[in-house]
Amino acid sequence: MLTVHLEAEEATIMPVIQQVITAGEWEQIGQAAKTGAASRQKLRMIGLILDLMPADERAAFEDELPGPATFVWDLVGRSIYHRIMRELTQ
């Protein structure tokens, strides 16, 4: 499901973005997205993404995560995510 979505996004949206936004602007958007969210929000986003994916897509997603992100997720991220979700559902 995610693969189909990403393929459609790359086929339809990316060509438009390439015509409208420069590479430098695209980089700035990426940097803003990375630095704009608090660490807790990033962990919540990663956890929600993983929870919503089928197992095969989850494995592929985890394979694409950078090493430091995987390390932090495995070390503390998963437990923080579960704590956040418990807080939200109580």
Q: Report the number of distinct structural domains present in the chain.
A: 2
Q: Which two tokens stand for residue 23?
A: 């590479």
Say if residue 23 is in the same domain as residue 51. no
Average pLDDT of adjacent 10-residue blocks, the chain of 90 residues: 71 83 83 70 84 87 85 89 88
**pLDDT confidence of residue 72:** 86
Q: Are both 30 and 54 inside the same structural domain?
A: no
| pLDDT of the residue at 49 | 86
Same domain, 2 and 20: yes
For residues 55 and 82, state if they share a domain.
yes
Rounded-to-integer distance, Cα 33 and Cα 19, Å = 21
Residues 55 and 12 grouped into a single domain: no
Domain carrying residue 58: 38-90
For residues 81 and 48, state if they share a domain.
yes
Looking at the structure, tell me whether residues 12 and 55 fall in a common domain.
Answer: no
Note the pLDDT of residue 42: 80
